[in-house]
Amino acid sequence: MDWGTELWDQFEVIERHTQWGLDLLDKYVKFVKERTEVEQSYAKQLRSLVKKYLPKRSTKDDPESKFSQQQSFMQVLQELNDFAGQRELVAENLTMQVCLELAKYSQDIKQERKMHFQEGRRAQQQLENGLKQLENSKRKFERDCREAEKAAQTAERLDQDINATKADVEKAKQQAHVRSHMAEESKNEYAAQLQRFNRDQAHFYFTEMPQIFDKLQDMDERRTARLGASYGLLSETELQVMPIIGKCLEGMKVAAAAVDPKNDSQVLIGLHKSGFTRPGDVEFEDFSQPMTRAPSDSSLGLPPDGRPDPRGPVRNRPKRWPFGKKNKTVATEDFSHLPPEQRRKKLKQQLEERGRELQKEIDQREALKKMKDVYEKTPQMGDPASLEPRISETLGNIERLKLEIQKYETWLAEAENRVPGNRSDSLGRQGRPPEPPSGAPPDTNNCSSDKESPEAPPSDEGTDTSIYTEFEEDFEEEPAFPIGHCVAIYQFEGSSEGTISMDEGEDLCLMEEDKGDGWTRVRRKQGGEGYVPTSYLRVTPS
């Protein structure tokens, strides 16, 4: 069944139907365009969301990136970013395959439809012109027939009239003959016009218009098939990205399964383990009865008159080291501001990085040497002298890196020799203070005892190792107040951790008495606090 046979008289219906089909095509193009805008907006919002929650610092500088939960979250963000990329791909494919292609196809098919209907209207106009000509020839034939009949009746009446002259009769007969001849010609013309119109009408209804309608039917069916295929592109475009989207979702699932609570706990330990041992018990100080300390126990005894200080004994604030407020420490190149365990890790990390850089420079030097040999053997390939600056620069870098590696190895050896001890009476002092300078006059007012103070037993790691005493002060709840004053008898250079330098004759604030290990904690007037040898001081009780 075709339109040319079944709808031969429905020209206007076919015209409306084909226009409706084109409108539907344009409507679908507009729908897909808005759909792509939704996809693009969705993808843009997803990317903005991912960017908002990505860490500002690089992974290398962010300690939180070592936790599995943070790594999984970063993986989820990455998978979501890839998911957004697939939504952008869907929008791009729909734009290219549907919007642009269908818009171009719509323009082409509109031109084709316009051409077919112009051809149909032209055929209709020709048929209408033939009908008009037929009507005109018909009316002329009818008029000529009436005029011929009238002329014949007039001639017959004059012929029977006895009063009419012969001339009048002849004239009337001649007029009737002319009219009869004109009627005959009109008849022949009408018959010929009728025959021509019938032929044209048959051609119009049985050949010309059916062909035009069949062309319009073919056009409309092609448009319908193209539109149906475009409907399928919506699902096909989605199906094309489903494998990647499935991988993104599977990646999120894998990231969720990768969260390891036990591992994160170990990571936290590795990041923040200080390497210190727990502090010892705080000694009980009995203030219920007067207490006279032996000179070896403290550098602050009773006044010379033997009377106790009316203000009572000096009380030292116990240091609650794990729970106090930390003071900010200044970062140092040797990482001495860090706890021992963290310092060792940082130093090892620096050694590994310098080692990689050194190997890279060595490889580059070898490559430059080989290139230089090639240039020397084959001068046309290049000038060997042009490589000298780069070789010299590489050698300089190698020497610099070797010195840095040596420096870090020294610091690492120093850090690994540190043995954190228990905090009893004196946390963080050296095992044995230095002796006073030889030939120095004895000081009768010195706070140290005439008897030798018992030396702290040397540790397994060596007597010159020091403890991170700065961490004792870091965890003080509030700064301690001076308990007396003292004067430096000799100059002292505080070169180890926890000690402080002083000049000869310098006035100092006494912060903590000698606990029997030969060290006294003092504070300088210009700032700075640490331990100095008790034998280097002359103490004045407050």
Q: From the options 1.10.3470, 1.10.238, 1.10.10, 1.10.287, give the CATH code of 340-417.
A: 1.10.287
The pLDDT of residue 453 is 37
Please choose, from the candidates 429, 521, 477, 480, the residue with its C-alpha nearest in 3D space to the C-alpha of residue 322. Answer: 477
Q: What is the pLDDT of residues 20-71, one digit of tens each?
A: 999 999 999 999 999 999 999 999 999 999 999 998 877 777 888 889 999 9
Provide the 3-class DSSP secondary structure of residue 348. Answer: helix
Nearest-5° Cα angle at 357, 354 to 358: 85
Helix axis angle, 11-53 relative to 68-94, nearest 10°?
Answer: 160
Q: Where in the chain is the domain with CATH 1.20.1270.60?
A: 3-258
Please choose, from the candidates 223, 211, 213, the residue with its C-alpha nearest in 3D space to the C-alpha of residue 15. Answer: 213
CATH superfamily of this structure's domain 484-540: SH3 Domains (2.30.30.40)
The pLDDT of residue 71 is 92
Low-confidence ranges of the chain (pLDDT < 70): 289-329, 418-480, 541-542
CB 520 within 8 A of CB 448: no
Q: Where in the chain is the domain with CATH 2.30.30.40?
A: 484-540
3-state SS, 356-401, equals: HHHHHHHHHHHHHHHHHHHHHHCHHHCCHHHHHHHHHHHHHHHHHH
The pLDDT of residue 477 is 42
pTM of the model: 0.55
The pLDDT of residue 158 is 85
Provide the 3-class DSSP secondary structure of residue 520. Answer: strand
The pLDDT of residue 432 is 53
Provide the 3-class DSSP secondary structure of residue 258. Answer: coil
Q: What is the pLDDT of residues 439-469, one digit of tens each?
A: 444 443 444 333 333 333 333 333 343 433 4
**Alpha-carbon dihedral angle through residues 469, 472, 475, 476, given to the nearest 10 degrees:** -120
The pLDDT of residue 434 is 62
Provide the 3-class DSSP secondary structure of residue 219. Answer: helix
Q: Where in the chain is the domain with CATH 1.10.287?
A: 340-417
Length, in residues, of the chain: 542
The pLDDT of residue 290 is 57
Q: From the options 2.60.40.10, 1.10.1610.10, 1.10.275.10, 1.20.1270.60, give the CATH code of 3-258.
A: 1.20.1270.60
The pLDDT of residue 296 is 42
